[in-house]
């Protein structure tokens, strides 16, 4: 349970070099926003990978203090309903659901911006529990807990779908949560945002 994005992916990607390069460009844009992107284990001084065989990153366990951090334990967080007015308060919490707080924006609680590793390999490493769906895809996901690196996870999934249309993207996030990732990815791919919105199968 927790805020997650989903990717149904082929056994081997087409155009993986282009996927990795475009995701790296998105990473540079996300870092300019002040979001720390590091290696897959979340270690502050580590580097993400955008290579021939895999894309591998996480948020930093020591996100720089600022707009992306907040003090406190917020439980299992969920994005707030952006159609409702934000309560007049300095807090990022706009409400509660049964698992924890509803947040108005992505945050690193107590400065910890890391959560599950985003790992997209060129060739899927199947195990005895792996099963292909009716389209020949394997199911993958990344639970981000709505931490700041969530933006780059969405960009990576968008780029994968853009270069290999066999992919299918799913998300716990509504369209309002994807706006920033669509804008960043469109710039990296030098394409129009409306072309990327057509790739998403998410709620409005």
Residues of the chain with pLDDT > 70, as a percent, come to 95
Which residues lie closer than 8 Å to 91 by C-beta, 6 or more apart?
Answer: 70
**Alpha carbons 25 and 13: distance in angstroms, whole number:** 19
Write out pLDDT tens, residues 33-75. Answer: 999 999 999 999 999 999 999 999 999 999 999 999 999 999 9
Which residues lie closer than 8 Å to 171 by C-beta, 6 or more apart?
Answer: 4, 5, 6, 154, 177, 178, 200, 202
The predicted structure's pLDDT at residue 90 = 60
The predicted structure's pLDDT at residue 2 = 92
Write out pLDDT tens, residues 146-174. Answer: 999 999 999 999 999 999 999 999 999 99
The predicted structure's pLDDT at residue 83 = 56
**Alpha carbons 139 and 161: distance in angstroms, whole number:** 14
pLDDT at 93 over 60: yes
**Alpha carbons 21 and 163: distance in angstroms, whole number:** 11
Residue 71, CA distances (Å) to 40, 78, 165, 182 in order: 24, 17, 41, 29
Write out pLDDT tens, residues 99-153. Answer: 899 999 999 999 999 999 999 999 999 888 889 999 999 999 999 999 999 999 9
**Alpha carbons 78 and 71: distance in angstroms, whole number:** 17
* Choice between 175 and 98, residue whose per-residue pLDDT is larger: 175
Write out pLDDT tens, residues 68-86. Answer: 999 999 999 999 986 554 4
Say which residue the tokens 């990344």 belong to.
142
Could you tell me what percentage of the chain is helix, strand and coil, using 3-state DSSP and rounding each to the nearest 5? 25, 25, 50
Q: Among 9-13, 85-89, 177-181, where is mean pLDDT lowest?
A: 85-89
**Alpha carbons 93 and 59: distance in angstroms, whole number:** 21
Rounded mean pLDDT, 91-103: 89
Residue 59, CA distances (Å) to 48, 85, 103 in order: 10, 29, 18
For 178, list phi and psi in degrees, rounded to 5. -90, -5
Query: Could you tell me where the beta strands, DSSP code E, fall in the chain?
Result: 4-9, 37-38, 49-50, 54-59, 69-70, 78-79, 93-97, 100-103, 108-109, 118-121, 138-143, 168-171
């Amino acid at each position: 349970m927790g805020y997650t994005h989903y990717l149904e992916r082929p056994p081997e990607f087409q155009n993986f070099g282009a996927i990795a390069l475009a995701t790296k460009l998105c990473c540079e844009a996300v870092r300019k926003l002040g979001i720390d992107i590091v290696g897959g284990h979340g270690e502050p001084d580590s580097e993400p990978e955008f290579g021939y065989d895999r894309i591998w990153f996480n948020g930093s366990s020591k996100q720089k203090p600022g707009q992306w951090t907040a003090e406190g334990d917020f439980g299992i967080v969920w994005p707030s309903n952006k159609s409702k007015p934000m309560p007049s308060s300095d807090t990022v919490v706009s409400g509660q659901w049964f698992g924890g707080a509803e947040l108005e924006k992505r945050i690193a609680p107590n400065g910890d911006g890391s959560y599950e590793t985003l790992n997209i390999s060129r060739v899927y490493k199947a195990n005895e529990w792996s099963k292909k769906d009716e389209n020949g895809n394997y199911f993958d996901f990344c639970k981000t807990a709505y931490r700041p690196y969530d933006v780059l996870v969405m960009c990576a999934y968008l780029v994968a779908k853009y270069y290999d249309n066999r992919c299918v993207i799913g998300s716990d996030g509504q369209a309002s949560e994807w706006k920033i990732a669509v804008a960043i990815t469109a710039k990296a791919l030098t394409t129009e945002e409306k072309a990327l919105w057509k790739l998403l199968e998410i709620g409005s």
